[in-house]
Amino acid sequence: MRRQMRRNYADERESKKMLYIAGGVLLLAIVAFVVTFIIYSNVITEESQQPETSITDLATTNTIASQASSSIGKTVNEVEQSETEQSNVVADANTKNEGTLNENLSNKVAVNTSAQENKQKANTTVNTNTTEKTQTTTTQQKEEKKPDPTFTKPVEGEITKEYAKDNLIYSETLEEWVTHYGIDIKADKTTVVKASAGGTIKSIKNDPRYGITVTIEHDNGYQSVYANLLTAEFVKEGEKVEQGQTIGTVGNTATFEIADDPHLHFEIVKDGEYVDPSLYIK
């Protein structure tokens, strides 16, 4: 009985020993695997960090290898001759490329020069035409510009009322102080009234205030007005008249001057503005 117990105890110890040994071997295997994995990872990392060989380097290597392999079995002179021929080919290619480039540059320069010349010619032509037009216009303006008309007294007589645009004069008819845009020249009824300057009859009308009135249009924006006429049957609208030509007779038809003695009411207008006739009559 005791022997049996001792044997069982010895078997148990042997089993535990075997388990310990197996566990130790397994642990060592795990440690070895881990160390191996770490070392392998470091190697992979170092290889990935190394620069890759470029295509140019590979091409250069292949070229060198090709040249080296093709040089096997050749003499030194043959190798040198081959290298010289290759250098000459490269030099010829470079020369051709330079020639083509220079030719292209020359063509571009020629084209640019031609374009600039054409542009200069066009500018010169435009400037010449502009100058000619300006000269022509200036010449035409000089030719078209006419001197101001010279005015004479349309009827002989005393000036009884002066020009009064900026001050007032007394009106016997209206019995008040008023402006006066012309001059009144005293003359008997039926006295001939003459054109103060040459021009065109612009209008003949019977004005409610001025009575029978004739207006003559002259050069450079001038007009002369003859009012308080008795008749104006000597001319018609649109007719050209000369200085001193008869255009009517003195009357007393102006209602706003009916109380005055017979006279000619005479005005001169420049560009739509009344001016003093006394300053223009010569």
* Cα–Cα distance for residue pair 251/249, rounded to 1 Å: 6
137 part of a folded domain: no
Show the tokens assigned to 257.
Answer: 């001057």
Q: With 50 as the cut, is the pLDDT of residue 76 above it?
A: no
Does residue 142 lie within any of the structural domains?
no
pTM: predicted TM-score of the whole model, two decimal places: 0.52
pLDDT value of position 59: 44
Name which of 7-21, 120-134, 254-268 the model is least confident about.
120-134
Please check the confidence at residue 112 and state whether its pLDDT lies above 70: no
Output DSSP code: residue 281.
B
At 116, which amino acid appears? Q
223 has pLDDT over 90: yes
pLDDT recorded at residue 51: 47
Residues 230-247 pLDDT 10s: 999 999 999 999 999 999
| Residue 134: inside a domain | no
Tell me the residue ranges of DSSP E strands in 182-221.
183-186, 192-194, 199-207, 211-217
Q: In the Cβ-directed half-sphere of 118, how many Cα atoms lie within 13 Å?
A: 6
pLDDT in tens, 144-173: 678 999 999 999 999 999 999 888 999 888
Structure-block tokens of residue 281: 């009559």
Q: Is the dihedral of CA 35, 37, 43, 46 positive or negative?
A: negative
Write out pLDDT tens, residues 87-100.
554 455 455 555 55
Q: What is the pLDDT of residues 249-280, one digit of tens each?
A: 999 999 989 999 999 999 999 999 999 999 99
Specify the higher pLDDT residue, 67 or 106. Answer: 106
| Average pLDDT taken over every residue of the chain | 77
The answer to whether 215 touches 237, Cβ cutoff 8 Å, is no
Is position 147 within any domain? no
Domain CATH code at residue 259: 2.70.70.10
Q: Where does the pLDDT of residue 128 fall: very low under 50, low under 70, confident under 90, or very high at 90 and above?
A: low
With residue 96 as reference, give the H or E element that holds it. Answer: helix 76-144
Lowest mean pLDDT among 101-105, 146-150, 180-184, 201-205: 101-105
| Residue 27 banded pLDDT, cuts 50, 70, 90 | confident
Residue 44: the pLDDT is: 72
Q: Which amino acid, one-letter code, is at 11?
A: D
Indicate the residue among 10, 29, 50 that finishes a domain.
50
Domain assignment of residue 234, given as a range: 159-279
User: What total number of domains does the chain contain?
Assistant: 2
In a domain, 175, yes or no: yes
Going from the C-alpha of 238 to that of each of 174, 207, 214, 242, the distances in angstroms are: 35, 19, 12, 13
pLDDT digits (tens, 9 = 90+) for 189-222: 999 999 999 999 999 999 999 999 999 999 999 9
Alpha helices in 191-256 (DSSP H): none
Contact yes or no for 185/229 (Cβ under 8 A)? no
Does residue 74 belong to any structural domain of this protein? no
How much is the pLDDT for 15? 78
Residue 97 covered by a domain: no
What is the mean predicted confidence (pLDDT) over 28-51?
75
